[in-house]
Structures are given as C-alpha cells and as structure tokens.
Amino acid sequence: MRGQMTHLDTDVLAEFRAGLITGRRGGRITAHLGGCERCTALDEQLAGVRSLLASVPAPAMPDSVAQRLEVVLAAEVAQRNAAGQAAVRGAAAPADQAERAGGDGARGPSASRRPGGNRGFRLLALRVLAPVAAVVVLGAGVYGLSHLNLGSSSSSAASSTAGGAARSAPSAVAGARSAEHANAPAAGPSRGTTPQSRGITPASFSLVTGQRNLTQAGLAQQVRAELLVPVSARSTKTPPRKLRGCVARLADGHVLKLVESVRFEGRPATLIVARTGARDTAWIAAPDCSDTYSHVLATTTLPSGISGP
Amino acid sequence: MPDEAAPADYELLRRHVAGDADAFGELFRRHRDRLWAVALRTLCDPDEAADALQDAMVSAFRRAGDFRGESAVTTWLHRIVVNASLDRLRRRAARPALSTGDEQAFEALVAQDGDPARTSDTRLDVDAALRLLPPQQRAALVLVDMLGFSVADTAAILDTSPGTVKSRCARARARLLPHLAHLQGNRSPGRSVSPAQGGDTA
C-alpha cells in the first residue's frame, strides 16, 4: 500500500477531514493513512488543531463593554419611545408651535405639549446620542425650577451650570416633581418615610463612596453607567446627617436607586437617583445641600428600565 | 442549530417588535458573551470588537422587524455581528493590518500582546495565530471550531454554502497547524476532540 501515492499535503488532509474529498480519491487517502506513520501523525496534529481551538474558552464580555452597550441600548429604547411619542404629538401639534417651543415663551405648566413637538422627528435623524441629549435638556429644566425653590438662590449663583437655556425647556415629568418641591414645606430627614414609599427610603440608605467625575455634557449616560454597578459590589458608608436631609428633601419619599459621592465638573458632589414614576430622576447635589436647602447643581431624567441595584 | 432557547428568543424578539422596551435587552444579554467572542475573534482587537458589537446591536434593535424566522434568532444575531465585524475589517483594510494575515508580524505579536497573567495560556498563541488567517477563513473557523456552530448554521451566518464553510475551515486549520502544533501537548488532559472529528457536520 505504501508507495501507491506520495505523502499527503496538509491542505489535502484538512479537506479530506472536512468531508470535501470523498469517492475514490477519498478511498486512496484512507488507504494511505492506514500504512503511513508520517501522514497519520500529520492527521493527528490536524485533529489536534481542532481540539485545541475548541479548548480555548470563549472570553466573557468585559464589564466596560457591557456597560457601554447598555447605555447605547437605553438610548435606542429612549429614541424609539421618543419617535413614537413624536408621531403622536406631531399629528396633533402644528409645526409653528413646535418651533416656538424652543423660545422663552414656552415655559411652565401651561405648555401642555413638550417642547420640540416637532423636534421628535429631528431626533430620528440624530442617531443614538440624540435622545440622551434631549433628556439632559429636559431634565435641566428641573434645575431652573429647583433653583427658584432655593429661597437663597443668590448664594448659589456660582454653581449655575445648567444655564438659562435649560429653563426654556421644562420637562412635564421633571417639572411636576419640582412643583411638588415648591409646594412642600421645609422637610426634615424623617419626611422621606412616607407610608407609600417602597424599597430603600431616604432614612435608611447607604452612601456609595465613589470618585467618579461626572460632567454636565454626558450626565445622563454617566448616571446610567453608575446605575449598572450593583451597590452591593461597592464600598459604602453611613451618610452624614446633612446629606440625609438633602436626600429626603430631593427624593421626597420616592424609592432611592443610588446615592453616591462623586465629583461633578471636578468638584465634590453627591449623585442621587430615585424612581420617580415612569422615569428616574437624578440630581447632582452640592455639598451644602440639606433638608432646608435644595442646592442642586444639575439634574436629568432616565428611563426607569435601567437596571438598578 | 438545535437551540433550546430558540422559542424564548423568538418570543423576546416578537415582544421587542411589538414595543416592549425591555425585551431586546434581555435577548441581547442572553447571548452577549458568545456574540462578543465572535466579534473579538473575528476582529482580533477589543476596541474594534466593541465598536462592531455596538453597531450590530443597534442594527439588530432597529431591524428586528425584518426577522422572518428562516433561522434561529441566535443565528440571525450572529450573522449581524459577523457582518458588522467583517465590515470593519474591510474598512481598515487599507491599513497594514495584522488581521489580514501578516506572517512577519506573528512573532512580534506573540511577544507584544500583553497581559502577563495569560502569557502562559494557550489562548495567547491561539489569538495571535488567528490573526494570520484571512478574515473569511477566520470567521468560519471561529464559528465552527471555537464556538461549536454546525457547518449549516455557520453557512447561514456567513451567507454562503456549507461547502465553502468546510473549505475555509480546512484551509484555516492547515494554515494554523505549524503555529499551533507545539501547543498540542499543553492541552488540558481529558479534553475531548471537538465534535465530528472525522468530518464537519453539515
């Protein structure tokens, strides 16, 4: 048998083992392998390549990639929701009203349509990050209203990061929360434990001790990323009394999802996230925020679907 | 592909198309490690793989309504990921990329590719060797030999014939042989030979 054909080429053997060579030619290869140690050894090595490849475990997706994809996915969901709402609003709202909504005239609860009724269609073209940006702008409206609620607003002028433009775009959802703040009497730390509150209440939360630097520009995305890390996996401490008061005042009985010490635009601050109805609200509180002083540096809202701790 | 989760996958996709905000995320999370492995092994670059996977995820999210059920949902998802990965490889083909089969870069890669914690791992050598393959061969090999897809499913993912998949895998194995033969003694004992050693299952 040996000598009936020359030694087998690696490619030929590989094709044979892949089932690509059959019939008489395949029979000759089988016969040759039966009598040729050299080609049998090559055949075994080739089989070993497959075995080796199969033995390498599939790499798990790194957490950083997983978090990034979750943020993008959340933005896609928000965009799809916005597109659906825009279609509904667009059918009802004349275009000129929508255009006007960008100006100072469209302020306050009387603007029953969200600003940018027409903007929803534009969002469709702006791809992934557009709805995030829209959320930030809408959420920033809270800043303006919270700011009005300060009572001592003159003392916080230095931290006016949300800017005047934000006031022209109040969010119906966030605005409603702020209206509650405005109507609420000065609140103590115990005020958060209302009978209807569920889960973590402001009286019992832990402060996650982080060093993350958040920025106004990417706030919604950054908050989403923070929410994806379970509190149980992070170091926490008991929050100081002043912060408990601040959280109780801001979250106001809503279920807390996260309270974390962060930096905001490089300065110490506290991130507070609570489930507020259909959307979560995130506040960036200044260090002097307390039960009598809602010193909010920035705010945003998020779809409540983000998995929280 | 025999996939026990297929009905649930399809249900999640259906719910997503119907407007469920959470369904797609659940579906994607369920398969993300394998999708990541496909992108990473096809692109041989974590940053590129993350970009490709993001492109693919967004594409799948938006095009879910186009899914007609001719294949398993997992096959459909992998197809989108592979296409996104190969698109990226094509786009960067102008660069003198290591991924296109640069033999000369092999030794340098083995020396450079950094994480000391795994330098003793065969994975490092396998990763480096994979870069020697043309992208289409590499994609086929990764799916069949590393992720255990059948030839038929791989053909569906790569939008080609089973014969072409077999051919690409065969050439890829032959090409890798000289680079991996030295590792075969290092395999963990008791590791069984991959399925259908005597020939690729169709």
Q: What is the pLDDT along chain B (202 residues), one digit of tens a residue?
A: 444 544 489 999 999 999 999 999 999 999 999 999 999 999 988 988 999 999 999 999 999 998 988 888 999 999 999 999 999 888 877 555 444 444 444 444 444 444 444 434 677 788 889 999 999 999 999 999 999 999 999 999 999 999 999 999 999 999 999 888 777 665 443 333 333 334 555 4
* Beta-strand runs (E) in A265-308: 267-276, 279-285, 296-303
Same domain, A146 and A249: yes
Same domain, A93 and A154: yes
Same domain, A260 and A122: yes
* Residue B129 identity (one-letter amino acid): A
Q: What is the pLDDT of residue A94?
A: 42
Q: What is the pLDDT of residues A235-268, one digit of tens each?
A: 888 899 889 988 887 787 778 889 999 998 888 9
The answer to whether residue A36 sits within a structural domain is: yes
The answer to whether residue A3 sits within a structural domain is: no
Same domain, A95 and A237: yes
β-strand pairing of A236-237 with A255-264: unpaired
The answer to whether residue A72 sits within a structural domain is: yes
B120 touches chain A (CB under 8 A): no
Hey, what domains does chain B have and what are their CATH numbers?
A: 6-185 (1.10.1740.10)
- Does the structure show a pLDDT above 90 at A271? yes
The answer to whether residue A4 sits within a structural domain is: no
Alpha-carbon distance A61 to A57, whole Å?
12
Q: What is the pLDDT of residue A31?
A: 92
Q: Do B181 and A45 touch (CB under 8 A)?
A: yes
Give mean pLDDT, residues A48-67. 90
Residue percentage of chain A with pLDDT more than 90: 20
Which among A14, A66, A77 has CB closest to B32? Answer: A66
Range of the domain at A31: 10-55
ipTM summary value:
0.78
Same domain, A297 and A249: yes
Provide the whole-model pTM.
Answer: 0.52
Best of A52, A228, A279 to mutate (most B CBs within 10 Å, chain B): A52
Residue percentage of chain A with pLDDT more than 70: 57
Residue recorded with tokens 């996260």 = A258
Same domain, A31 and A76: no
Same domain, A198 and A118: yes
Same domain, A223 and A252: yes
The answer to whether residue A5 sits within a structural domain is: no
Given a contact cutoff of 8 angstroms between Cβ atoms, the answer to whether A303 and A279 are in contact is yes
Same domain, A32 and A155: no
Distance from CA of A120 to the nearest CA of B (A): 17
Q: What is the pLDDT of residues A67-94, one digit of tens each?
A: 889 888 988 888 888 777 666 665 544 4
Q: How many domains in chain A?
A: 2
Same domain, A39 and A145: no
Q: What is the pLDDT of residue A87?
A: 64
Residue A22: closest C-alpha in chain B = B199
The answer to whether residue A258 sits within a structural domain is: yes
Q: What is the pLDDT of residue A306?
A: 60
The answer to whether residue A164 sits within a structural domain is: yes
Distance from CA of A157 to the nearest CA of B (A): 39
Same domain, A140 and A218: yes
Across the beta sheet with A236-237, what order do the strands follow? A236-237, A207-214, A255-264, A267-276, A279-285, A296-303
- Does the structure show a pLDDT above 70 at A281? yes
Q: Do B193 and A84 touch (CB under 8 A)?
A: no
Same domain, A178 and A225: yes
- Give the count of alpha carbons within 13 A of B130, CB side only: 29
Q: What is the pLDDT of residue B109?
A: 45
Q: What is the pLDDT of residue B200?
A: 58
The answer to whether residue A147 sits within a structural domain is: yes
